[in-house]
């Protein structure tokens, strides 16, 4: 029988760390587009420890989400993001 996770309290902080794939999902981008934007300096790069896979700790998660929210990259340049298709469909159905 699978263990059930306890529900996180509503006032709890976000996750301690996310993988690159999870961070891309949080930013509503594909992993390849997210990686391209990391290389371009728009998003900060992940942390790495010797012999371990890259991850985003809580402070970098907040910085990435701020870039997505404000449209100002970590390099200080303006970046434009397209809306996801799901958002467009919902908007079209409402009109």
pLDDT digits (tens, 9 = 90+) for 1-50: 555 555 544 555 678 999 999 999 999 999 999 999 999 999 999 999 87
* Cα-Cα-Cα-Cα dihedral sign, residues 5, 11, 16, 17: positive
More confident: 5 or 53: 53
Q: Which CATH architecture has domain 17-94?
A: Orthogonal Bundle (1.10)
Q: Where are the domains of the chain?
A: 17-94
Any residues with CB less than 8 A from the CB of 34 and at least 6 apart, and which?
A: 20, 23, 24, 27, 43
Residue 56 φ/ψ, nearest 5 degrees: -110, 110
Residue 89 φ/ψ, nearest 5 degrees: -60, -45
């Amino acid at each position: 029988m699978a263990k059930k996770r306890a529900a996180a309290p509503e006032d709890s902080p976000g996750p301690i760390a996310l993988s690159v794939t999870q961070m891309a999902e949080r930013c509503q981008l594909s992993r390849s587009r997210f990686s391209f934007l990391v290389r371009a300096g728009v998003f900060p790069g992940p942390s790495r420890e010797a012999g371990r896979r890259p991850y985003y700790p809580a402070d970098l998660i907040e910085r990435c989400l701020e870039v997505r929210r404000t449209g100002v990259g970590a390099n200080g340049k303006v970046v434009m993001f397209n809306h996801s298709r799901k958002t467009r469909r919902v908007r079209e159905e409402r009109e």
